[in-house]
Amino acid sequence: MIGRLNHVAIVVPDIAAAANLYRTALGANVSDPVDMPEHGVTTVFVTLPNTKIELLQPLGEKSPVQAFLDRNPSGGMHHVCYEVEDILAARDHLKAEGARVLGDGEPKIGAHGKPVLFLHPKDFCGTLVEIEQA
């Protein structure tokens, strides 16, 4: 069921500084920032040969990543995203295996314009997992 690693997401306090660090220090290909008000974040994608890094900065007072940043003021790894062929079939399989799907259990459109769901970190070794339809 699980496909390739799509990205690793890192919450940062200053997305411009983080993007510049990846661009200059690591020589990475870094996208322009995109505000995603429906998710409460600003995103930047760092493209690597085999996957991506998603930099996330809170957008607005109700950002779901603000509490994470409050606990980790320097930022840190927030979640991993795996691709799945059929997000509804994956959701149903995961729920049957006892995994908890966050939110209302219905996919939302993510940063890549594809359906995504998040899985409770307590069900995946302490790691927040995002699944994205490939």
C-alpha triplet 36, 111, 42: angle, nearest 5°: 35
**Of residues 38, 61, 106, 130, which has the active-site annotation?**
130
Q: Is 124 helix (H, G, I), strand (E, B) or coil?
A: coil
C-alpha triplet 79, 84, 87: angle, nearest 5°: 95
The one-letter code for the residue type at 110 is G
Whether 85 is a known active-site residue: answer no
- For 62, phi then psi, to 5°, come to -100, 20
Category of 66 on φ-ψ map: left (φ > 0), alpha (ψ -120 to 50) or beta: alpha
115 token code pair: 């359906």
The residues carrying an active-site annotation are 130
